[in-house]
Amino acid sequence: MQPKRMPSPQYLIAHACFECRKSFKVAPRPDDSTVCPNCGSSLHQMGRSFKAPAARDKEQWAKVQALYNAGFRFFSYRSVDGPPLPARLSDVEAFIRDNPAHPLRVAVPNNSFKPKPLRGSA
């Protein structure tokens, strides 16, 4: 085990915990193994332009999670060419269907959204 190095502030990226409905600015790790300091669940890297909804706003968090699961990440609109992300959870399904090649859709969709099994563990 190598000791953890303190990350430089400019490399902090918004990560979200869908359990707590909170976002944390943390340094991205290549193995995506960051965990929520609040509950210990996996944190999900959302992108530099992610703005966390209020924790009580379950609809907006569900929307964000649905977009995340579909492979969308949150980067500046100025750098991409495409329709803006939907404002409402009820619009997400149609948006995803209508924008299969949206420039913000950078990750492989994850429909199961289950924690990855740990390799080598019984």
Residues lying near Zn ion in the complex (CB under 5 A) are found at 17, 19-20, 36, 38-39, 41
Give the residue among 53, 55, 52, 36 at the shortest CA–CA distance from 44: 36
Residue 38: CB minimum distance to Zn ion, A: 4
Cβ proximity to Zn ion: between 43 and 96 the closer is 43
Residue 21: CB minimum distance to Zn ion, A: 8
107's CB contacts (< 8 A; 6+ apart) are 71, 72, 73
Are 111 and 69 a contacting pair, CB within 8 Å?
A: yes
Residue 105: CB minimum distance to Zn ion, A: 25
Cβ proximity to Zn ion: between 54 and 122 the closer is 54
